[in-house]
Amino acid sequence: MATPSENSSPDADLGNSLPSLDSQISHADQISYWSSQSADVNGMLGGYPQLSRIDLQGSKNFIAKVRRISRVSSSSPTNTSSSKQDTTSAHGSRSTSGRAPATPIRDANNSKIRLAVDCGAGIGRITSGLLLYVAETVDIVEPVTKFTDVLGQLQTSPDQGRVGEIFNCGLESWSPSAEKSYDLIWIQWCLGHLADKQAVEFLKRAARALAGYDVQNEVEGEAQGWIMVKENLSTDAWGEDIFDDVDSSVTRSDQKFKHLFEEAGLKIVKMEAQSGFPKDLYPVKMYALRPK
């Protein structure tokens, strides 16, 4: 499953013996599965609505830590070429790609970033519970219109940003226009709906849509945007991915994610396990990524 789900898959061994696990992915099956789910938090979280609060809190803490890294490195001009996992540098932003320079992920006033996008957003659980507090505007990518219809009725509070453009398509066919430059691209519980190759291509496109992409490290203090991925991890004893034919998704191993990020030209600048979920669910991990 692409959402929190039980850590047991009787078919895992069967799936593993197949040459290409994710060749079984069918976007038509995904859409038909998700269209049959209720357009509420229970539907989004596969029957575990109580996990939403813990999940959002974990994500909020993670974003705060990543912002802190950005702040520390942007106030440290000597720290410009680190590739260490938890101490990435803030890259300068003289854009050579025509994209807008990045908004620093955190400034002295802890103000909002400019533009985020919620990928595979469903009804906007993460958008309304987290991203609209972090960003002035949040775009949405979600193939099921029944879910995005809910976003049209979203009531926001004065301290929240606004929902921007809504793209009703799967991530495999989402190609951000050249005018878009995102400070944060949030991808949660939906990357398993893409085959490996599609995931790599999507991550490459996402990287190109980041604010400050392809910049020279000439201007201190401005960070590039971030891609953040939060997904279930496979617990297969042999470290294999697990296919779930209920929602036509693949649950990948930590090793596989790292491989896909590498293929997409991304480096991990911070990663963290989500704590506080029941032990019988798949472990969940967060990765903050940037182009190398």
Q: Is 27 in the site for ligand SAH (CB under 6 A)?
A: yes
Complex with ligand SAH: residue 63 or 144, whichever CB lies closer: 144
- Residue 173 zone, left/alpha/beta (φ > 0; ψ -120 to 50; rest): alpha
* Window 106 to 145, contacts with ligand SAH (CB under 6 A): 120-122, 125-126, 142-144
Complex with ligand SAH: residue 2 or 105, whichever CB lies closer: 2
Q: Is 44 in the site for ligand SAH (CB under 6 A)?
A: yes
Q: Is 195 in the site for ligand SAH (CB under 6 A)?
A: no
Q: What distance in Å separates the CA atoms of residue 39 and residue 50, rounded to the nearest whole number?
A: 16
Q: What distance in Å separates the CA atoms of residue 73 and residue 269, rounded to the nearest whole number?
A: 12
Each residue of 160-174: b (16+ CB within 10 Å) or e? bbebeebbeebbbeb
Closest contact distance (angstroms) between CB of 198 and ligand SAH is 8
Closest contact distance (angstroms) between CB of 202 and ligand SAH is 8
Closest contact distance (angstroms) between CB of 123 and ligand SAH is 7
Which of the stretches 67-75, 103-111, 185-193, 262-270 binds ligand SAH when contact is defined by CB under 6 A? Answer: 185-193
Torsion 10-33-229-157 (CA) sign = negative
Which residues have a Cβ under 8 Å from the Cβ of 213 and sit 6 or more positions away?
A: 95, 97, 99, 181, 207, 224, 225, 291
Among 193, 208, 270, 290, binds ligand SAH (CB under 6 A): 193
Q: What distance in Å separates the CA atoms of residue 84 and residue 258, rounded to the nearest whole number?
A: 15
Q: Is 30 in the site for ligand SAH (CB under 6 A)?
A: yes
Q: Which residues bind ligand SAH (CB under 6 A)?
A: 2-3, 27, 30, 34, 44, 120-122, 125-126, 142-144, 147, 170-172, 188-190, 193
